[in-house]
Structure 1
Amino acid sequence: MTPPPGWYPDPSAPHLERWWDGAAWTGHLRAPEAPGPPQPADRASGRARAVALTTAAVVLGAAIVTGVAVLGEDDDTGGPAAEALPTAVTSTAPAGTPTPTPSEPTGAAPDVVVDELNGITLPLPDGWTPPKNVAEDDVVMTTDDGTYDCPAGVGTCRHGLVLTSTVTENDEKSPRTLAEQDIPEAADAAYDRDSLDRRLYGGIESHRTVESGPVAVAGRAGYFVRWRVKTAQGPGGYVQSLAFRSSVGSEAPVIVRFVFDAGPDGPPLADMDRITKGIRSIGDADTGGGVGSSIGPED
């Protein structure tokens, strides 16, 4: 079994931590976080309490029925061992231990979703919710009105999605180039063919650029491109690709994709700007920007 996504000791540099995406190592590095305060002396460990309760239950059961109880030893270490990391991660945290993922809000206010991998938080406007039962990868929020039958009569669709991803496949650093390269792929994935090669909207018939330009995101220079997409069936929609560089780890470029259905059932187009303007670096409420902000040259 492989462990869930998270920060683990880097196999080639144990003094650093590298992000494991659940299947492979990524290019993200960071310094290990300082250990938390020691637990009070009068609090027994969870394992000790569990063993004590199990032993008491066995003694009580033996007084009522005849049987033999065998108590197994649990591994209480949790997470992959550092020496196992160079080739593969082979151990997991104890069963039942919640592990945060990039799209799960952990310790954040209910109106914010945390993307730990890219070191940002995104606001949740009214009508949006963290993802639940979503098959698409990298989704960080969806419209909160659930799903509907897709216009082409196959599959289920959502009126709005926001996704984040890290650019690791090329060395391109320009936010403008990255956004312009991503928008055709974003449109195709949203409204042409899905991951199962189904045309949920009958395919894309045409598109046009609605808006594009530089934008400040979490205090960093970025760029966005927004398309209006017309589909063979249904009202079509709007797709936006937003690119900027992360402020954590190796500062790899980040792509945020917006997918909004057009028509009266789609989310307000202004939510794209609201979400963009509200993106912050984790732990830094002062970073921001938004469409139309003054940002200077691209970094």
Structure 2
Amino acid sequence: MSMSPPPGWYADPSAQPAQHVERWWDGSAWTEHRRAPEAPRLGQAQPGFGPPTQQLPVPSGGGGGRAKVVALAVAGVVLVASIVTGVVVLGGDDGEPTGGDPAPTTSEPVDTPSPTSPTPTTSAPDPDPSHLVDQLNGITIPVLDGWEKADNTVGSDPTVQTPDTYDCPGDGGFCRHGTVYSRTATATDERSPKALARGDIKDAADRAYDQDAIGRELFGGITRHEKVKEGSVAVAGRSGYLVRWRVYTEKGPGGYVQSLAFPSSLGSESPVIVRFAIDAGDGAPPLADLDKMTKGIRTIGEGATSGGVGNSVGATP
């Protein structure tokens, strides 16, 4: 069974031979995100460098001829190697000596190792557990005390979450006291962080406190909301905008949701949206974590104290 290469930056097969461009592969198809290759750090493999684990499809619109030539050349090499191997094997089975003295035989038993179970492998330790890396959007999100990186997410959104779950007060299922995840704003041509944040906040609230992906009302549905914060904010050296709501639900204490929008520093600078949700009840993280995470967002490769928050950036018009 063939498996698709994991999401990451790979050489763009649609680029001209003289161009050096990387393109984002989302695990199933090419996106329109492109960037210039970054130099790998000493002793650290960088996503997108080296060939993927299997042949990626060439996007329509260009580059197909070059990819076909490479594929044919590889197939030719494999064919020649197979023919040579077959000749050698057949030549050794016809009973004729191939030169030299025959190998001595012995009746003494030969020690053969007993079969053993495969050695269990363990995943490499997280090089930086204090930050979640979003390679696609070129940012890192801080992982505060009481939070963790999510091993599995719905879709491909990089997610930070609270570690413990509890029984949802509505239609069953398990809920968490807090989640934060990032995504690229690709479903719209809008580029204004202010317009994006204002347009996204309702969807963010619905996903957190209204209905889940299979239609369950985990909190009995949203009854009302009120805006508690809105305005321009500097994020990762760029001018962004946030909107925060206090959401009230039919069951349970409800919570706070926030939509934060800002332009990416990569490639075409597609806007990035980071969604925040924190419960208002017991066991939830402090509301101040929303501001701490917002201020702690950095561009990839930026140090924790490098001033990446971008305090010198002016307000969004």
Q: TM-score, normalising length from structure 2?
A: 0.70
Q: 1:254 to 1:106 in 2, by over 3 A?
A: farther
What's 1:68 paired with? none
Q: Which runs of 5+ in 2 are unaligned?
A: 44-49, 65-120
1:236 Cα offset (Å):
0.5
Give the one of 130, 133, 141 matched to 1:114.
Answer: 133
1:17 corresponding residue in structure 2: 22
Residue of 151, 158, 165 corresponding to 2:169: 151
Residues 153 and 221 (structure 1), Cα distance of their counterparts in 2 relative to 1, 3 Å cut = same
Task: Give the structure with the higher percent strand.
Answer: 1
Residue 34 (structure 1) shift: 3.7
Query: Residue type matched to 2:234 in 1?
Result: A
Q: How many aligned positions are there?
A: 244
CA distance in 1, matches of 2:228, 2:269: 29
- Write out aligned runs for 1:221-236 (5 A): 221-236=239-254
Give a deviation string over 1:33-52, Cα, whole Å, max 9, x none.
346779xxxxxxxxxxxxxx
- 1:240 aligned onto 2:242: no
Which among 130, 155, 179 is matched to residue 149 of structure 2? Answer: 130
CA distance in 2, matches of 1:123, 1:37: 24
CA RMSD of aligned residues (A): 2.8
Residues 27 and 168 in structure 1, CA contact (< 8 A), matched pair in contact too: no
The 3 A distance-change label for structure 1 pair 5 and 250 is same
3-state SS in 1 of match to 2:243: strand
Which ranges in structure 1 are unaligned for 5 or more consecutive residues?
Answer: 39-75, 89-97, 99-103
In structure 1, distance between residues paired with 2:298 and 2:307: 5
TM-score (norm 1): 0.74
Runs of 4+ in 1 over 6 A off after TM superposition: 35-38
Pick the structure with greater CA Rg: 2
Whether contact under 8 Å (2:153, 2:159) holds in the other structure is no
User: What amino acid is the match of 2:9?
Assistant: W
SS at match of 1:13: coil
Deviation at 1:165, TM superposition (A): 0.2
1-side partners of 2:59 and 2:257: how far apart? 39
Look up the match of 2:53: 79
> Which amino acid is the alignment partner of residue 30 of structure 2?
W
Identity of aligned residues (%): 56
Is the 1:106–1:114 contact (alpha carbons within 8 Å) kept by the matching residues of 2?
A: no
**Letter in structure 2 aligned against 1:20:** W
Partner-residue secondary structure (3-state), 1:215: strand
1:46-105 deviations in whole A, cap 9, x for unaligned? xxxxxxxxxxxxxxxxxxxxxxxxxxxxxx9643446x42369xxxxxxxxx9xxxxx99
User: CA 1:31 to 1:208, structure 2 compared with 1: closer, same or farther past 3 Å?
Assistant: same
Rounded Cα–Cα distance in structure 1 between residues aligned with 2:182 and 2:14: 27
